Amino acid sequence: MNFSEAFKLSSLLCKFSPDGKYLASCVQYRLVVRDVNTLQILQLYTCLDQIQHIEWSADSLFILCAMYKRGLVQVWSLEQPEWHCKIDEGSAGLVASCWSPDGRHILNTTEFHLRITVWSLCTKSVSYIKYPKACLQGITFTRDGRYMALAERRDCKDYVSIFVCSDWQLLRHFDTDTQDLTGIEWAPNGCVLAVWDTCLEVRILNHVTWKMITEFGHPATINNPKTVVYKEAQKSPQLGLGCLSFPPPGAGAGPLPSSESKYEIASVPVSLQTLKPVTDRANPKIGIGMLAFSPDSYFLATRNDNTPNAVWVWDIQKLRLFAVLEQLSPVRTFQWDPQQPRLAICTGGSRLYLWSPAGCMSVQVPGEGDFAVLSLCWHLSGDSMALLSKDHVCLCFLETEAVVSTACRQLGGHT
């Protein structure tokens, strides 16, 4: 595993282009576009104010920079660096900005979610959509880019509207049986639209009958001996990086790879660290705050906000808990490798954690001082990922899965 040098970064704004050729990052009001292979700067754009959001168009030809405080969006072209576009929402303000799937329209949400303004880069025409709801995921497009679903809130009730993206005309409008709609999402085939309330529990549904298959509970104590529980533990620093750090089940203390933390396989029953939610305050830490399917749909990773240090990995084929990783610090985020069932985890410290069915890895991120990994994002190839700290970004280059799996087995990984 290798790491690039660290580059300056602001506000955790760093994204790979959809085609995987470029890496965009922001340093205050400057947008830097690098070649992914050489990390050489290809373009340097200067915006009118500090950038608060960036997003690539689906064809990787354009990138938008949103400056919410100024109500501005600037669009830059990679093919024609001298071309640029400025969108000013004026007194209406700006709280969100995104691309349409065709990469030629921009959807801006005004302050107080009064409306969405659709700007065309080709015809310079403008369309308006009223009543967007302020929720976590209120806009979703079908994969073919033909339709957009929008969550709405009017007269104290939740609704969904379906629009045709070619002309932004309303196709369908209906109310939803929700108390407080939190998000919407199209099925991959675009035939079904899912709408959900707050996600306090994780339930698995049949995609044909839409009946519940099972419900995944997140108990504070793990009792099933078939579930592998990895617990991160501190150890004294030694020379060298060291990647994998846990002994096989039943093994006594022995030489470990040099590392400041290690994974140990705990014997059940295992009690996880829990937090008692403060229910008399707004937005208490309770329920499932994060979940993601692996790219092959064999595994589901979840985080229960009541046990913030733990990542739960579920076997979807057998509908059972496969593994639990309990970290020393609360889990900030996790993300699956887009090419294989390999999960990357960060906790805000200077270490990167990887899980696969072959075992776990704990890796120190090199650099001057501690590189506190606050977020991460995979390259579409799965061969590398960007690690983001408060003020810097570096790239982590991974070995192939075969090499990693061999290392896991040689150093006592669980298979």
pLDDT at position 257: 38
**pLDDT recorded at residue 285:** 75
Residue 369's pLDDT band (boundaries 50, 70, 90)? confident
pLDDT tens profile 313-332:
999 999 999 999 999 999 99
Taking 80 as the threshold, does the pLDDT of residue 259 lie above it? no
Q: Which amino acid is at 89?
A: E
Please return the burial class of 243, using the count of CB atoms within 10 Å of its CB with bins 0-12, 13-18 and 19+. Answer: buried
Classified as helix, coil or strand, 375 is strand
Average pLDDT, the chain: 90
The yes/no answer on whether domain 1-130 falls in CATH 3.40.50.970 is no
Q: What is the pLDDT of residues 132-162, one digit of tens each?
A: 999 989 999 999 999 999 999 999 999 999 9
| 3 state SS of 106 | strand
Q: Is the CB of residue 45 less than 8 Å from the CB of residue 51?
A: no
Q: Average pLDDT of 381-402?
A: 90
What pLDDT, in 10s, does the model give residues 12-22?
999 999 999 99
Q: What's the mean pLDDT in 260-287?
A: 86
Q: Report the C-alpha gap between 14 and 305 in whole angstroms.
A: 26
Residue pLDDT, tens place only, 32-47 = 999 999 999 999 999 9
Query: Does pLDDT of 125 surpass 80?
Result: yes
**How many CA atoms, within 13 angstroms, populate the side-chain half-sphere of residue 94?**
25
Q: What is the pLDDT of residues 96-116, one digit of tens each?
A: 999 999 999 999 999 999 999
pLDDT above 70 for 178:
yes
- Residue-level pLDDT at 220: 94
What pLDDT was estimated at residue 200?
63
The first and second tokens of residue 340, run together, are: 């294989």
One-letter amino acid at 365 equals V
CATH of the domain spanning 131-217: 2.40.10
Report residue 111: phi and psi, to 5°: -60, 150
pLDDT at 79 over 90: yes
Tell me: pLDDT of 52 over 90: yes
CA–CA distance, 170 with 149 (Å, rounded to integer):
10
SS3 at position 155: coil
Domain range list for the chain? 1-130, 131-217
The pLDDT assigned to 401 comes to: 52
Query: Hey, is 210 helix, strand or coil?
Result: coil
What separation, in Å, do the N-terminal and C-terminal C-alpha atoms of the chain show?
A: 21
Say how far apart CA 98 and CA 95 lie, in whole Å.
11
Cα–Cα nearest to 58, from 137, 143, 126, 138: 143
Domains 1-130 and 131-217 share a fold: no
Of the candidates 16, 71, 15, 74, the residue with the CA atom closest to the CA atom of residue 45 = 74
Q: Specify the amino acid at residue 44.
A: L
Contact 130, 121 (CB under 8 A): no
- pLDDT band at residue 349 using 50, 70 and 90 as cut-offs: very high
Q: Which residue has the tokens 């501690």?
A: 370
Residues 6 or more apart whose Cβ sits within 8 Å of residue 370: 349, 350
Largest CA distance in the chain: 70
pLDDT recorded at residue 250: 39
Confidence of residue 287 (pLDDT cuts 50, 70, 90): confident
CA distance 25 to 206: 40
3-class SS at 412? coil
Amino acid at 165: C
Statement: residue 252 has pLDDT above 60: no
Q: How confident is the model at residue 410, as a pLDDT?
A: 36
pTM of the model: 0.88
| Percentage of the residues of the chain whose pLDDT score is greater than 70 | 90
Contact 149, 186 (CB under 8 A): yes
pLDDT of the residue at 206: 87
